């Protein structure tokens, strides 16, 4: 199968994987507004191996989302081979392996970013995946984590260990595990990764505006960016970044335009997940109205919506 990473014009703008956020509806919206690649929510390799109904549901997507990368998490190499085969059968464009998640419930079971404390295990997880699929395989990591004896294990150590594996892309979150989602981005570490990895490198972390995006690209020399929390309530950020990098200017959608985007999101959520999709949409609705003069009152109403009509009624009262 073709390696789509090599076919996208740089800089590549990707929607980074986020649990509970990057479902099909949001992915479709981000593709519509400029994302070159979209990642799924974190998908359990164990869940796929045991053919769990909820996990298999996460593999459903629309053609408009391609290239879609399904991100796997887990820690048992034996499960990753079968998981890779299942993802390939789903028609997805690529597979990613999570070595970066700092969430307590993930690291508590020895997954996510804590995996890079054992580079031999990481190697086996990646190798099992690559050996069982023709899809391009990528990974997501953080800059570093301290081992249990206090020694720092870095993304450079990781890349050196994986040097002989045909990994297609690496998304590097520019903070250590200990930093979580705050603190300075380690631009130099991401830039240095380019010496040890010749595939696609995506820089991730701290991109909340087109200006942030330009700075991160400039300081890291990365091939592209993985956008995450900066897209909360702002799926149009991808297009703004593209416009800014090309012309030095970008436009903020008007409130009437934002209303149409919100309704489009709601319709996609309803189509892909039914009424439950609108319940899950509530958090996105809160992000969309952030910063409005009466945001507090709006939030009180939006957390109760159960239908498209509910959303339309509330939006009709907002004049921006």
244-295 pLDDT, tens digit each:
999 999 999 999 999 999 999 999 999 999 999 999 999 999 999 998 988 8
Report the pLDDT value the prediction gives residue 1, as an integer from 0 to 100.
55
Query: Any idea where the domains of the chain sit in the sequence?
Result: 4-247, 255-316
pLDDT digits (tens, 9 = 90+) for 303-317: 999 999 999 999 998
Report the pLDDT value the prediction gives residue 2, as an integer from 0 to 100.
67
pLDDT digits (tens, 9 = 90+) for 57-92: 999 999 999 999 999 999 999 999 999 999 999 999
Fold for domain 4-247?
TIM Barrel (3.20.20)
pTM listed for this prediction: 0.95
Report the pLDDT value the prediction gives residue 258, as an integer from 0 to 100.
96
Q: Catalytic one among 12, 97, 101, 269?
A: 101
Q: What is the CATH number of domain 255-316?
A: 1.10.1200
In this prediction, residues 105-124 reach a mean pLDDT of 90
Report the pLDDT value the prediction gives residue 148, as an integer from 0 to 100.
76
Alpha-helix runs per DSSP H in the chain: 24-32, 45-49, 53-57, 77-90, 104-107, 119-131, 155-161, 187-193, 210-220, 237-247, 255-273, 275-288, 295-302, 308-316
Tell me how long the chain is.
320
Report the pLDDT value the prediction gives residue 192, as an integer from 0 to 100.
97
Are 4-247 and 255-316 in the same CATH fold? no
Split at pLDDT 50, 70, 90, the class of 180 is: confident
Let me know if 122 is a catalytic residue: no
């Amino acid at each position: 199968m073709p390696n789509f990473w090599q076919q996208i014009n740089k800089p590549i703008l990707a929607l980074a994987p986020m649990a509970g956020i990057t479902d099909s509806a949001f992915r479709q919206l981000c593709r519509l507004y400029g994302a070159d690649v979209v990642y799924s929510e974190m998908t359990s390799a164990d869940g796929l191996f045991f053919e769990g109904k909820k996990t298999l549901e996460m593999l459903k997507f629309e053609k408009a989302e391609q290239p879609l990368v399904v991100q796997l998490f887990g820690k048992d190499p034996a499960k990753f081979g079968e998981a890779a085969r299942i993802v390939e059968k789903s028609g997805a464009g690529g597979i990613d392996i999570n070595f970066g998640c700092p969430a307590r419930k993930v690291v508590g079971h020895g997954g996510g970013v804590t995996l890079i404390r054992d580079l031999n295990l990481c190697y086996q997880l990646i190798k099992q995946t690559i050996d069982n699929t023709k899809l391009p395989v990528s990974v997501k990591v953080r800059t570093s984590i301290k081992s249990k004896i206090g020694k720092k294990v870095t993304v450079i150590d990781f890349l050196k260990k994986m040097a002989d594996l045909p990994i297609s892309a690496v998304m590097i979150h520019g903070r250590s595990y200990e930093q979580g989602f705050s603190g300075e981005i380690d631009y130099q570490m991401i830039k240095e990764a380019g010496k040890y990895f010749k595939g696609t490198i995506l820089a991730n972390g701290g991109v909340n505006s087109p200006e942030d995006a330009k700075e991160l690209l400039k300081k890291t020399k990365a091939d592209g960016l993985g956008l995450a929390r900066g897209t909360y309530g702002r799926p149009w950020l991808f297009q703004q970044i593209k416009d800014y990098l090309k012309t030095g200017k970008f436009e903020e959608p008007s409130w009437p335009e934002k209303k149409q985007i919100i309704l489009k999101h709601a319709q996609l959520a309803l189509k892909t997940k039914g009424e439950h999709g609108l319940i899950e949409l509530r958090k996105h609705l809160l992000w969309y109205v952030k910063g409005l003069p009466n945001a507090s009152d709006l939030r009180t109403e939006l957390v109760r919506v159960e239908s498209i009509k509910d959303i339309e009624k509330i939006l009709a009262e907002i004049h921006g």
